[in-house]
Amino acid sequence: MDVLVNLTVNGLATGMLIFLLAAGLTLIFGLMDVLNFAHGGLFAWGAFSGVWVYSATGSFMVGIIAAIGTGLILGLALERFIIQPVYGNHVQQILITLGVMLVLSEMIKVVFGPNQISARTPSYLSGSWEFGDIIIIKYRLFIIIIGTLVFGAIFYTLRNTKIGLIVRAGVINKEMVQALGINIKRVFMLVFMAGAAMAALGGMLLGPYSGVIYAEMGLEFGILAFIVVVIGGMGSITGSVLAAILVGLSGSFMAYFVPDLALAVNMLLMTIVLIFRPQGLFGVKG
Amino acid sequence: MTVPNTVYIIIFLMLLALPFVTDSRTLLIMFTQIFLFAIFAMSYDILLGYTGIVSFGHAMFFGIGAYSTGIILKQYDSTIPMLLMAVLVGAVIAGIVSYVVGMLSLRLKSHFYAMLTLAFSGLFLVLAEKWRTLTYGNDGFTFSIPDPLRDRLNLYLLSLILMVIIFLLLKRFTHSPLGRVLQAIRENEDRTESLGYNVLHYKVIASVVAGVFASFAGSLYVLTLRFVNTSVFAVDVTLDALLMTIIGGVGTLIGAIIGAGLIEFAHHWLSDLAKVHWIFERWIIFFGILYIVVVMFFPQGIVGTIRLWWSRRKGTQIRVRKEKNISS
């Protein structure tokens, strides 16, 4: 029983981290029809800048703000200079964002050094609560709460606000939204920046969770996020949160019960989903 | 612009004579690397340049060739027949894997395919790391190669000749009716479909051809190193092929060869510059930026841009590959 609860908490925490990364990816894809292969790079940059500021100032919260700020700035620059010229051309988008990914992860090595950096949990989030045999690690619970809050915020924004209405309409018909006098380019930019900020936040939160951060983690988690987006169905936020949790849980349970299969479990999940439902669990587009 | 065949023959003869006029071992090794990466880049160009498929998992086939050759030469005798068998085994496995991956994912849109191949090659990387009894994990293993190939000169000549043969084979392939269908798919998939061609069928053929030749390149690669480890499955290997094809010029086999030469040459040169300033150790940044610039401003690559420039100068119209929206 206690093992099951611990595994579930672990899986949920990992799932929420992946969700932060996948949410931006799927929003950007759904609205702008852009597959951003550089998304993992934003994740890694968030981790490095956030952890760097955190260890420099000693305040975890300032670190989080720095990470989000880095995400916003990088997102703005990326959208403006890299993505805008290649709207509508998928092959070019894939090629160019992959190049950006390459540059982003190498730049991390130039700015922060080539070695991995360790990150500690802040004192008020370290330690755990014990309920009988069940041990709940505070930081994992913290990640789950943040992830849930972010999901709630996105869900609320998309459902109940004007900007959400515009974004949802833009997903269905960009030209129509533009014709109604709304500057869809501005909306694209804001969504891209929000996606980048979420990725950066995810990276920052990963730091104390895994203990170390390294430049290659961008690609590693980027692939994981793609898998989640494919399983959940491209462009669906609900799909990505469920798929992220599914991937997180199956990863943590497999690692405990069938360790040999653990590394392949995501691939297997994705392959099965693609064979039976190529559009993903919650996807609408075929 | 068509370069007269005599120019190609002269360049080939010069390359053939090169080892007899210079004693530089580094130069010899570098050119051998260029030839085998040219094979790899040409195989990638069949996908990207001729069919319009973006694959991020081409390293998977390179690695399959590399590991098949390494493992068989290590476990059995290192004789020429054994080597031939190893290369054949690699090609067969690469063919089967590319067929299965293609059937699974080529019916999806371009970006799904790119992602899936990235994930599949990641799976092979994990496999090579975990199956330690066979692959020795991350450390890799050394093995001996057949005697005649121990000589760097022979290996150089073998790579050169293989590159030329494969170039001619692939040129034949791309100019065949089948190759024309592939180019039609690149230009407009929907229209090709509506003309009655089974697009998936042709895409899978392109993917199998590319996979098999990539596996040859992988076999040659480990022959030059006499060592194999998991780095042959790394994303960097795919990126190399991508860079070479894009910079040289997509959709032209000669572009892939020029790209391979440029990248390998620049790699050596920039690595040497690392002694001058540490920033050159991070030479990937320069390549990355150059690559982004090429994708943005010269989508035709070197060969394509020169062709365009040449045709403008002569005042003749040339059909420019239109950038197109793969899915709608």
- Distance, CA of B13 to CA of B1 (rounded, Å): 22
User: Strand, coil or helix: what is A263?
Assistant: helix
In sequence order, the 6+-apart residues with CB closer than 8 A to the CB of A12 are A140, A144, A245, A248, A249
Nearest to A106 among B109, B285, B295 (CB): B285
Least confident of A58-67, A171-180, B84-93: A171-180
Query: Average of pLDDT values for A202-222?
Result: 88
**Cβ–Cβ of A96/B130 closer than 8 Å?**
no
Nearest-5° angle of CA A143, CA A144, CA A148?
Answer: 115
Q: How far is B287 from chain A (nearest CA, A)?
A: 8
Q: Which amino acid is at B222?
A: V
Interface test with A, best of B296, B324, B327 (most A CBs within 10 A): B296
**Position B266 confidence tier, pLDDT thresholds 50, 70, 90:** confident
Half-sphere exposure of A273 (CA within 13 A, CB side): 25
Nearest to B104 among A99, A219, A274 (CB): A274
Structure tokens at B47: 């996908």
Nearest to A100 among B107, B109, B292 (CB): B292
The per-residue pLDDT for range B146-175, each reduced to its tens digit, is 878 788 888 899 999 999 999 999 999 999
Residue A211 contacts B, CB cutoff 8 Å:
no
The count of CB pairs under 8 A between chains A and B is 103
Residue B322 has pLDDT above 50, yes or no: no
Residue B77 has pLDDT above 60, yes or no: yes
The per-residue pLDDT for range B47-64, each reduced to its tens digit, is 988 888 888 889 999 999
The per-residue pLDDT for range B218-227, each reduced to its tens digit, is 999 999 888 8
Domain borders along chain A are 13-216
Interface test with B, best of A33, A82, A90 (most B CBs within 10 A): A90
User: Strand, coil or helix: what is A137?
Assistant: strand
Q: How far is A25 from chain B (nearest CA, A)?
A: 13
Half-sphere exposure of B69 (CA within 13 A, CB side): 31
Helices (H), chain A: 2-32, 39-57, 60-78, 90-112, 138-160, 162-172, 174-179, 184-210, 217-232, 237-257, 265-276
Interface test with B, best of A98, A219, A221 (most B CBs within 10 A): A98
Half-sphere exposure of B65 (CA within 13 A, CB side): 27
C-alpha torsion B59→B63→B65→B69, nearest 10: 160
Residue A50: name the closest of A224, A216, A206 by CA.
Answer: A206
- Distance, CA of A204 to CA of A223 (rounded, Å): 18
Specify which residues B142 forms β-bridges with.
B227
Q: Are A227 and A62 spatial neighbours (Cβ–Cβ below 8 Å)?
A: no
Residue A28 has pLDDT above 60, yes or no: yes
- Distance, CA of B316 to CA of B61 (rounded, Å): 41
Residue B282 contacts A, CB cutoff 8 Å:
yes
In sequence order, the 6+-apart residues with CB closer than 8 A to the CB of B140 are B227, B228, B229, B230, B231
Q: In Å, what is the CA distance from B121 to each residue of B87, B162, B212? A: 20, 26, 15
In sequence order, the 6+-apart residues with CB closer than 8 A to the CB of A169 are A176, A177
ipTM: 0.80
Residue A235 Rama label (left phi>0; alpha psi -120 to 50; beta): left
Residue B153 contacts A, CB cutoff 8 Å:
no
Kind of pairing between the strands at A212-213 and B141-142: unpaired
DSSP run (H or E) holding B114: helix B110-130
Least confident of A182-186, A197-201, B104-108: B104-108
The per-residue pLDDT for range B131-148, each reduced to its tens digit, is 888 888 778 888 888 878
In sequence order, the 6+-apart residues with CB closer than 8 A to the CB of B124 are B60, B63, B64, B233
**Cβ–Cβ of A278/B108 closer than 8 Å?**
yes
Residue A59 contacts B, CB cutoff 8 Å:
no
**Position B324 confidence tier, pLDDT thresholds 50, 70, 90:** very low
Query: Average of pLDDT values for B66-90?
Result: 89
Residue A97: name the closest of A78, A80, A111 by CA.
Answer: A78
pLDDT of residue A286: 39
- Distance, CA of A31 to CA of A44 (rounded, Å): 24
pLDDT of residue A284: 63
Q: Are B87 and B219 spatial neighbours (Cβ–Cβ below 8 Å)?
A: yes
Residue A29 has pLDDT above 90, yes or no: no
Residue B242 contacts A, CB cutoff 8 Å:
yes
**Cβ–Cβ of B288/A275 closer than 8 Å?**
no
Residue A273 contacts B, CB cutoff 8 Å:
no
Q: Are B111 and B326 spatial neighbours (Cβ–Cβ below 8 Å)?
A: no
pTM: 0.82
- Distance, CA of A51 to CA of A210 (rounded, Å): 12
Q: How far is B201 from chain A (nearest CA, A)?
A: 17
Chain A residue closest in CA terms to B238: A98
Residue A191 has pLDDT above 60, yes or no: yes
Residues within 8 A of A (CB atoms), B 49-78 only: 52, 54, 56
Instruction: Considering only residues A264 and B81, tell me which one the structure prediction assigns the higher pLDDT.
Output: B81
Residue A136 contacts B, CB cutoff 8 Å:
no
Task: Give the number of other CB atoms < 10 A from CB of residue A87.
Answer: 15
**Cβ–Cβ of A35/B52 closer than 8 Å?**
no
Task: Give the number of other CB atoms < 10 A from CB of residue A148.
Answer: 14
pLDDT of residue B325: 41
In 3-state terms chain A splits into helix, strand, coil percentages (rounded to 5) of 80, 5, 15
Query: Average of pLDDT values for A147-157?
Result: 92
Instruction: Kindly list the residues from chain B whose CB atom is less than 8 angstroms away from the CB atom of residue A226.
Output: 115, 118-119
Query: Average of pLDDT values for B177-184?
Result: 90
Q: How far is A35 from chain B (nearest CA, A)?
A: 7
Instruction: Kindly list the residues from chain A whose CB atom is less than 8 angstroms away from the CB atom of residue B107.
Output: 278
- Distance, CA of B326 to CA of B133 (rounded, Å): 44
Instruction: Kindly list the residues from chain B whose CB atom is less than 8 angstroms away from the CB atom of residue A263.
Output: 126, 130
pLDDT of residue B167: 92
CA A47 to mean position of chain CA atoms: 12
3-state secondary structure B233-271: HCHHHHHHHHHHHHHHCCCCHHHHHHHHHHHHHHHHHHH
Residue A227 has pLDDT above 90, yes or no: no
**Cβ–Cβ of B120/A94 closer than 8 Å?**
no
Q: Are B118 and B239 spatial neighbours (Cβ–Cβ below 8 Å)?
A: no
- Distance, CA of B89 to CA of B65 (rounded, Å): 8
Residue B4 has pLDDT above 80, yes or no: no
Treating both helix axes as pointing N-terminal to C-terminal, what angle do A217-232 and A90-112 enclose, rounded to 10 degrees?
150
| pLDDT averaged over every residue in chain A | 87
The DSSP output letter for B149 is G
**Cβ–Cβ of B109/A110 closer than 8 Å?**
no
Residue A109 has pLDDT above 70, yes or no: yes
Residues within 8 A of B (CB atoms), A 87-126 only: 88-96, 98-100, 102-103, 106-107, 109-110
Chain B residue closest in CA terms to A84: B296
Structure tokens at A22: 């996948």
Long-range pairs for B134-138: beta carbons < 8 A, 24 or more residues apart: B134/B71, B135/B67, B135/B71, B135/B230, B136/B229, B137/B230, B138/B229, B138/B230
Residue A279 has pLDDT above 80, yes or no: no
Burial grade of A66 (CB within 10 A; 0-12, 13-18, 19 or more): buried
- Distance, CA of B328 to CA of B326 (rounded, Å): 7
**Position A71 confidence tier, pLDDT thresholds 50, 70, 90:** very high
Where b means 16+ CB within 10 Å and e means fewer, B66-100 reads bbbbbbbbbeeebeeebbebbbebbbebbbebbee
Q: Are B63 and B237 spatial neighbours (Cβ–Cβ below 8 Å)?
A: yes
**Cβ–Cβ of B130/A260 closer than 8 Å?**
yes
Instruction: Kindly list the residues from chain A whose CB atom is less than 8 angstroms away from the CB atom of residue B295.
Output: 86, 92, 95-96, 99
pLDDT of residue B2: 61
Residue B319 has pLDDT above 70, yes or no: no
**Cβ–Cβ of B116/A92 closer than 8 Å?**
no
